[in-house]
Amino acid sequence: MRLIKEYFPIFLNIENKLCIVVGGGKVAERKIKSLLRAKAKVKVISPELTPKLKKWAEEGKFVWEKRVYQIGDLEGAWLVIAATNDPEVQKEIYQEAEQKRVFCNVVDVPEFCSFIVPSVVRRGKLAIAISTSGASPAVARRLRETLEELIGEEYEIYIELMKNLRDQILNLNISSQEKEAKLQKLALIPIPRYIKYGDLELLKTVIEKEGLIFPSALFESLRTSISSKEI
């Protein structure tokens, strides 16, 4: 029986860091999309690419090395993802990554991974990562789908609003204890429900009661979205 490892949960800043993907199929496409979203500097090594990846390469979104992987390709890399079905290549990539101390993920081969990629729920700046430590990716996916139903699109606006309110509170001329109390109080208010059901005037009143300002641009954007039933 394969032993399940304990992993350290972490969110990485890979902006402008060299991340290499070996493979050009559908799985690689998903991984590359996530890396580009995180503003990584992406290099793809593969003889072939999916039509979408070819388009991205032509648009200059990443560098494409049109060939097979060779030992030495990980020089200068910060992270590598191997999306290839060749066991020998998988092993070579992992061994080179270990030697060069490069974070490595060989898709669906846990023994060749120094990190695993969680199932993620995204709502704007909100990211909820789910992992079963490789025990059951299917369960992680099902949990993600459940959370996506519970945590709707209103949370994207909610997080944006809370960031604005937090900035306002931090600039208030009050003690750090009072600031923390206000932040905690706001976190307990069911703001996502107000946004979801269009109770903007009530939300505005709640915010102003705390001596804060509902940003006018966001208020108008919300009102427009609600009127067009986008939320």
Per-residue pLDDT of 130-189, as tens digits, reads: 999 888 889 999 999 999 999 999 999 999 999 999 999 999 999 999 999 999 999 999
- pLDDT, position 228: 64
**In this predicted structure, which of 3-7, 61-65, 207-211 has the lowest mean pLDDT?**
3-7
**pLDDT surpassing 60 at residue 43:** yes
CA angle at residue 201 from 199 to 206, to 5 degrees?
A: 95
Mean pLDDT of the chain: 93
Angle formed by the axes of helices 176-188 and 154-170, to 10°? 160
pLDDT at 202: 93
Cβ-contact 1, 25 below 8 angstroms: no
**Which segment of 173-182, 210-219, 221-230 scores lowest on mean pLDDT?**
221-230
pLDDT exceeds 60 at position 68? yes
Which pLDDT belongs to residue 1? Answer: 52
Edge to edge, the sheet with strand 18-22 lists 63-65, 41-45, 18-22, 79-82, 103-106
The CATH code of the domain at 118-151 is 3.30.160
CATH superfamily of 1-117: NAD(P)-binding Rossmann-like Domain (3.40.50.720)
DSSP, collapsed to helix, strand or coil, labels residue 211 as coil
pLDDT value at position 137?
A: 86
Residue 114 has pLDDT above 70, yes or no: yes
